[in-house]
Amino acid sequence: MEIENKVIVVTGGSGGIGKALSTHFIHENAKFVIALDINFDNFKSKDTNLITKICDVTDEKELTMVIDEINLKFGLIDIFCSNAGILSLGNEQVPIEDWNKNWNLHVMSHVFAAKKLIPEMLKRGSGYFVNTSSAAGLLSHIDSVTYSTTKHAAIGFAEWIAITYGKQGIGVSILCPQAVETAMTMGRENAVSALDGMMKPTQIALDVIKAVKEETFLISPHEQVLGYFQNKANNYSRWIGGMQKLRQKLKS
């Protein structure tokens, strides 16, 4: 899908990947880019076509209301990037509140956006979703059961949308980087996700723009991830054994 003259929404847009996406979409001559987040305290932009709106995307009623406002004021949304995310570490003993936060943000916010937007996109025969997952969604995250599990679910939902509506004009890309230099990874430069290096949000944004134009489903900015993913598929048990050894090494 071409980006020029499109109305684009980016959640988690106040910083990191979301801010980089918003800025680069503007550079690609998008008609309007609307960045959504729970606050924009440190956000600065001189682009008049880059609009910020406060929105809790885990609240279906609030997200639906904001989408209605955008459709009315700026035009029907062409591309929706579900990018908002959090990282909470821990095993199966984490409080249910952690599970709910991760599930609602990494999965249900994607569902709410699709539920609202797909009917109108089907009428037009055109629309695009960019759903941020993670390399953890393809592989795993040895330090966070909530992040790993919900990112896997995000990929499953995106696959279903692509399979169900891909022949009706609706495109989907999933963004699956390893470590990226954002507030989420601050202080975690030595984490297992950073073993292949931390990428800058700008590079991630360029990869997303290329994938949207080419309508590529999987966006894997860290090339090593594809190799790991292939190893996992080729011999699942061996891959799990390797991850067990890695975890023991890092925890020792």
pLDDT tier, 46 (very low <50, low <70, confident <90, very high otherwise): confident
Q: Is residue 116 over pLDDT 70? A: yes
User: Which residue bears the tokens 């696959």?
Assistant: 159
Q: Residue 2: inside a domain, yes or no?
A: no
Q: Rg of the chain over CA atoms, in angstroms?
A: 18
Report the pLDDT value the prediction gives residue 80, as an integer from 0 to 100: 98
13, 45 in Cβ contact below 8 A?
no
| Mode of pairing for the β-strands spanning 170-175 and 7-11 | unpaired
- Output the pTM of the full model: 0.93
CA angle 161, 162, 167 (to 5 degrees): 115
Q: Which domain holds residue 207?
A: 7-251
In this model, does residue 192 exceed pLDDT 80?
A: no
What would the DSSP string read from start to end of 28-62?
A: TT-SEEEEEES--TT-----TTEEEEE--TT-HHH
Domain contains 83: yes
**Per-residue b/e over 179-196, b at no fewer than 16 CB within 10 Å?**
bbbbebbeeeeebbbbee
C-alpha span between 244 and 167 (Å, rounded): 40
Alpha-carbon distance of 232 to 198, in angstroms, equals 22
Number of domains in the chain: 1
CATH number at residue 224: 3.40.50.720
- Residue 193: pLDDT over 60: no
Q: Do residues 156 and 106 make contact, with C-beta atoms less than 8 angstroms apart?
A: no
Mean pLDDT score, 50-54: 97
> Is residue 222 assigned to a domain?
yes
Banded model confidence at residue 121, pLDDT cuts 50, 70, 90: very high
Place of tokens 């409080």: 95
pLDDT (average), residues 112-122: 98
Report yes or no on 25 lying in a domain.
Answer: yes
pLDDT exceeds 80 at position 35: yes
Average of per-residue pLDDT values in the chain: 94
**Per-residue pLDDT tens over the stretch 174-186:** 999 998 997 766 5
